[in-house]
Amino acid sequence: MSESIPLPDFPAGHVWLCGAGPGDAGLLTLHAVNALKQADVIVHDALIGAGILALGNPVAERVYVGKRGGQSATQAQISQTLIELAQAGKRVLRLKGGDPFMFGRGGEEAHALATANIPYRIIPGVTAGIGGLAMAGIPVTHRDVNQAVIFATGHDPATDWAAIAHAAPVIVIYMGLKRIGDIAQILIKAGRGADEPVAIVTDASLPTQQVLHTILGRISDDLATHPMSPPAVICIGGTVDILENTNG
């Protein structure tokens, strides 16, 4: 299949910053698979599952720099690791969940590589906030519902949720499971309907995927009776149930 598609050679001493999609190996790009096959070392975080790592060059070294369990590497340490591996002449694959430039610190790592004069390439990936929701049957735009969509992280206490409430009819939240009850209250106070549909999708695209459908005013109660664990992507707005409400 991919034989006829020209894919680049991975030069020694280069770093490829690559998105791996939400988890299902079928959502890798051909560029990502090409990178996995040629890498000497794969630097990855917690969201990269065993199924995707298994597609890598079997002799490639795997370096885990994730934030789950034990002491986590700082961003500066991760960038330094990439620089040192490249300087040692390795083909360095920096593999990230989703898309490397969507809440993935890919921009920071690219900047560090550029500053250190390390040649690099960016390989986009399917982001959880679009492709992950699609796997749950949720379009992030629909011509009858919204002309804009906003992607936000639920993680940063400085986020202006009242402004976001007015910014777009559909709001997609990454890293928001812990704070979603509070966020929902602020959105309602700012004028969003308590009856607006919400979907929470965990482990999107994986066999363990779960989807909770609720409404803005009931998120906390529903999560109390149906506890969910990260990674979760949350979609708020009229596109959430548009396919469910369609006949056929």
**Nearest C-alpha neighbor of 109 from the set 18, 35, 31, 21:** 18
Which of 56, 97, 139, 237 is close enough to bind ligand SAH by CB under 6 A? Answer: 97
- Catalytic hit among 90, 99, 175, 203: 175
d(CA 129, CA 106): 16
Active site residue 67: yes
Q: Which stretch binds ligand SAH (CB under 6 A): 87-95, 96-104, 180-188, 210-218?
A: 96-104
d(CA 116, CA 87): 10
**Nearest C-alpha neighbor of 41 from the set 56, 24, 26:** 56
Task: Assess 196 for contact with ligand SAH (CB under 6 A).
Answer: no
Which of 205, 212, 235, 239 is close enough to bind ligand SAH by CB under 6 A? Answer: 205
H/E stretch holding 83:
helix 75-87
Residues in contact with ligand SAH, counted by CB under 6 A, come to a total of 24
**Nearest C-alpha neighbor of 66 from the set 92, 42, 33, 34:** 42
Residue 90 or 126 having the CB closest to ligand SAH = 126
Map residues 166-195 to x or -, x wherever contact with ligand SAH holds by CB under 6 A.
--------xx--------------------
Can you give the binding site for ligand SAH, defined by CB under 6 A? Answer: 22-23, 47, 96-99, 102-104, 127-128, 132, 174-175, 201-205, 230-233
